[in-house]
Structure 1
């Protein structure tokens, strides 16, 4: 049920049904308008059909681009979907963005863009305060939409940029520990698909959407070379990393005519399919907090613990900005700094008395008490 809700939010109006052959298919239904979307949810053909269905509903049903008010939120969204910036995004990213933007458009599509003020944006975000991650996602999309409105000369400023992101208590996807990796291998030993997937992801740091595309064709002169799907359309940087001996030993036993993560028929698994498999595998290993994305973070953690710099780690993970890499490696860096601090503590003269002398280290040369300060 949860998965169905997520899908309906990503593509409002899209519902599934089973045809007379028992095959699941999708159709768009809204306001008396109906159109077939095909069987492959989220595929390029599905998105193309969904776009056409939206356009058909707008022009025939009187909503959105076909008969949208000039300068309205609905028209802005429609134009943004056809903009160079949006079309340059990968299909997976477009789906995520649509899931946020379509909900916003349904609620405020008729409102004039030029009248949106800071208080309006704050109210929109405050309505999602109970889910700060969702509020932050909406904030980012509003920034993009209103920036685009400025390029259309519909506005002169972007009030969304004046807001601050909500603090999110969670640190995101859990980073696998070495103990958890060992436990996973104990449950899924060498030779199983689960072991192969885990080994590939933890030794490449590849995201799930990239991992399912990797195959023998990506190894050139003993190195993994590929461009991330997320940045492929924008000619993202080439990732070129050495093949770790442990990974090379696993890959050497695989067929050379199919992706490393493939079905029994030899076709590449989908990113969503791999996610479902990983959930099953971690459940079997009693590792409910672990996920495929956590293996990507584990790769970054290992590199950080080995002393790699943030830039060096980014060259493996393919991140464009260093902020995310720093987030991935924060725990490892904190532990390393703590170890270094204690090494310095133990290296002080008269080591046995170091702890007893701690008050002297922090003694203030000014012995006069500060007025108005708590003691």
Structure 2
């Protein structure tokens, strides 16, 4: 007979025959609980999971063996290097690190060699992007191990991953935006979400917190969660028209079916469904931020002007969104063409 466990928690026997206890809830990464169910340490882990962190707050270092990868990870989570990261970045790092910790947390840090790391990364050839992400975190952890005296060298230094080229999230085209708008007309929550994302150029983590209290005579006041930048985004006429049809009965513009504010992950999952309804499985919320940046570049806005709206800090960050636009413009200039001219009538 299975023992009673808290909500979202289940136990199973893994391929090695070891009993594992797992927390799984839609909208956040799964987490393997380490303490014995119902003990104080277990309940601390469980409560941290319920608070929707990517992985629970670190339980005291007394619960892990000294000198192991788990001990190193505990120390890293408590370091200034980790704490100074934006909450969303810490979430992403924890997601990667905890998966690694579940498999290798009992390994001795001092005994890990380069060949061991190459073998671990090599087994992930089927998911090259995930392998590269893990390698980045391992390099960081091993560098931290050197800093705190757990190792004399960083065995991951100079290791190369798969470096699979990717453009990241798909950038919405104008045709895809029109297709979504046809499926979700003004007055729907989905249309409001798209318009907020597209005409503020902000991340979903910032859009879900926007409400009428943030609207001023100058625009919408935004405090970015990731960068802590404080911005004022002018309200575009298209956004003003959609907001005019939005009720003023909640603190945030976007709310769940129960009238609660969305979490960032919850909103992402909900918006994913709205994209699917519009037959746009390749599109996502983040892709609209890229589309908005593309529009600004196509309109001839400078990097400084684009950064003032998106909140990016460097030209390199903006270049990720505008490179394709710049290439097309420069190519046309190379032929001495204006925007209306065509090289041939092949596309007609």
| Larger helix share, 1 or 2 | 1
Partner residue in 1 for 2:22: 14
Match among 175, 182, 185 for residue 171 of structure 2: 175
The structure having more radius of gyration, on CA atoms, is 1
Q: Any unmatched runs of 5+ in structure 1? A: 18-25, 56-63, 347-351, 353-375
* The one of 123, 143, 152 aligned to 1:127: 123
2:194 aligned residue: 198
Shift of 1:299: 0.6
Match for residue 66 of structure 1 among 49, 63, 66: 63
Q: Decide whether the 8 Å contact of 2:23 with 2:33 is kept in 1.
A: yes
Residue of structure 2 in register with 1:326 after alignment: 319
Tell me how far apart the structure 2 counterparts of residues 186 and 327 of structure 1 sit (CA, whole Å).
29
Select the residue among 212, 217, 231 that pairs with 1:239: 231
Q: CA RMSD in A?
A: 3.4
Residues 1:343 and 2:344 aligned together: no
Q: 2: distance between equivalents of 1:267 and 1:82?
A: 32
| Partner residue, 2:268 | 275
Distance 1:31 1:214, change over 3 A: closer
Farther-moved stretch of structure 1 (281-290 vs 124-133): 124-133
Q: Using a 3 Å threshold, how does the CA distance of structure 1 residues 284 and 48 change in structure 2: closer, same or farther?
A: closer
- Counterpart-to-counterpart distance in 2, 1:97 and 1:270: 19
Unaligned runs of 5+ in 2: 1-7, 13-19, 344-348
Pair 1:277–1:107, CA change in 2 (3 A): closer
Aligned to 1:184: 180
The normalised TM-score by structure 2 is 0.78
TM-score, normalised on structure 1? 0.72
Asked if the contact 2:220–2:233 (Cα under 8 Å) also holds between the matched residues in 1, the reply is: yes
User: Does the 8 A contact of 2:32 with 2:102 survive in 1?
Assistant: no
Instruction: Supply the distance in 2 between the matched residues of 1:152 and 1:39 (Cα, whole angstroms).
Output: 30
Q: Please say if 1:230 is aligned against 2:222.
A: no
Q: Is the 8 A contact 2:171 2:288 kept in 1?
A: yes
Supply the distance in 1 between the matched residues of 2:303 and 2:125 (Cα, whole angstroms): 32
Counterpart residue number, 1:305:
298
Alpha-carbon separation, structure 2, partners of 1:13 and 1:157: 35
Supply the distance in 2 between the matched residues of 1:32 and 1:66 (Cα, whole angstroms): 11
Offset at residue 156 of structure 1 (A): 4.3
Evaluate the alpha carbon distance shift between residue 65 and residue 122 of structure 1 in structure 2; reply closer, same or farther with a 3 A threshold.
farther
Paired residues of 2:129 and 2:162 also in contact (CA < 8 A): yes
Deviation at 1:318, TM superposition (A): 2.1
